[in-house]
Each structure stands twice: as C-alpha cells, then as structure tokens.
Amino acid sequence: MVYYGDEAAINAPSTSGGSNGTEDDPYNRAPYPWSDESGSSSVYGPADRSMILFYSRLGRIRNQLPALRTGDFQTLLTGDATASNTDNDTYAFLRSDKSSRALVALNNGSANNISSIPVSSIFPDGSSLQDTLTGNNYLVSNGLVTLNLPPRSGVIPPQGGGGGGLTDASPPPDAQQNRPPPAGPPPRARLRT
C-alpha cells in the first residue's frame, strides 16, 4: 500500500505524546512538501525527485504487465520460514494471468539476502528471467531461481522462458510524447501577480 507522500519520500515519523502515549502509526496525513509553498522543508520534505521517478517507473511496469494488476496471486517464498538463514527478510510471490507472469521478490531487511525461490511449476530449468528494474538476468536451475537481493530492494523478472520479458521499464522514445503524466502528486499551478 502506498500512502499519500510515500512517492516523494515524505518524512512522516510516528507522533508521540498523544493522549494514549506514543502513537504507533506513522503520521500519514502530513502535508505534501510542495516546493512553492511556505514553511520549513526540513519538517516533511523536500520531495525526493529520485523517489518520485522510481515510483513512476514502478507504475509503468505495473501498466505494462497485466498480471501485476489483475493476475492470480501465489506466495512462493517467505524467507523466515525456510531452513536457510540467508533469506530471512525475503518475500517472493507470483502474479499471473493469461497474458503475462511476474515473479516479484522483495528484501525488506538491512542486509543482503541470498534467496533460492522454488519456481519448478512455473518456469522450466534453463529459463532466463530478466529483472525489469536492473536488467540483471537470472537462470532457473534445479527448479530454483537464486537471487542476491541488496538491502531494502526487489526484483521483478516477468514471463521468462527466453522470450517476452521486458528489457526496460521505460517507454520507447516515440511513445514519450503520448505518455500520460507520471504517477505522483499533480502539478500545482503557480499564480503570478
């Protein structure tokens, strides 16, 4: 789930000193750090342009792979439930429909995770899966795809099997002019007097 402001890496820490003591939920109703508004940008912002671009890219990937929007959902790995201690912070799942498949693996930990994800019922041995975020290729061997996931990162290798996987999440240059605006907060009009 993406809360308003997540796409700009808004700084909204938990609040403390409520009537019930420290509040556990993040302050997810913080004002958006518009660059043209008064106030201290050190309180909630400024908006992180690289994070806005990253969220925009994730939105394009989601639009390009129908399975990420409407496909069936299957958990493939919850690292803390395996015998390995190198994948404790990894969660991997498959989204699939009639036209596409996408394996998504996430590491929410603060250390590298090496994860062997069981995919024998999805991808045959020898399949090459290409990550849409980095372009890295992963080979299915012995029914597993092994990923080295840096801290707080993820991969999205779609389809596979030697054809049809995305090589780049960016639209082709000729599509740039007809592309809808990127995800994120709408632009604000600036009034001049």
Residue 191's pLDDT band (cuts 50, 70, 90): very low
Judged against a pLDDT cut of 90, whether residue 144 lies above it is answered with: yes
pLDDT bucket at 167, cuts 50 / 70 / 90: very low
Query: What are 82-138's pLDDT values in tens digits?
Result: 888 888 899 999 999 888 888 999 999 999 999 999 999 999 999 999 898 888 899
Lowest mean pLDDT among 109-118, 125-134, 139-148, 168-177: 168-177
DSSP symbol at 168: -
Tens of pLDDT, residues 91-107: 999 999 888 888 999 99
Contact 146, 121 (CB under 8 A): no
In angstroms, the Cα distances linking 187 to 35, 74, 178, 181, 184 are 10, 37, 18, 10, 9
**The pTM is what?**
0.70
Distant-in-sequence, close-in-space partners of 62: CB < 8 Å, separation ≥ 6: 68, 69
Which of 26-35, 39-48, 159-168 is predicted least confidently? Answer: 159-168
Rounded CA-CA distance 160/193 in Å is 56
What CA–CA distance (Å, rounded) separates 140 from 161?
Answer: 9
Q: What domains are defined for the chain?
A: 6-58 (no CATH), 71-155 (2.60.40.1180)
Select the more confidently predicted residue: 157 or 42.
157
The residue among 118 and 46 whose pLDDT is bigger is 118
Quote the radius of gyration of the chain (alpha carbons, Å).
20
Identify the weakest region by mean pLDDT among 50-59, 147-156, 176-185. Answer: 176-185
Phi, psi (rounded to 5 degrees) for 122: -115, -50
pLDDT at residue 42, as a whole number: 67
Find residue 73's DSSP bridge partners: 95
Q: Are 97 and 72 in contact (CB under 8 A)?
A: yes
* Residue 20: band (very low, low, confident or very high) from pLDDT cuts 50, 70, 90: low
**Mean pLDDT, the chain, integer:** 75
Q: Report, as an integer, the average pLDDT of 54-72.
A: 90
Output the six-digit token pair for 192: 């001049």
Q: Describe the strand order of the beta sheet including 153-155 as a list of residue ranges.
A: 72-78, 90-96, 101-107, 153-155
Q: What average pLDDT does range 49-53 have in this prediction?
A: 91
Q: DSSP secondary-structure letter at 132?
A: T
Amino acid 45: pLDDT? 74
Distance CA 179, CA 143 (A): 39
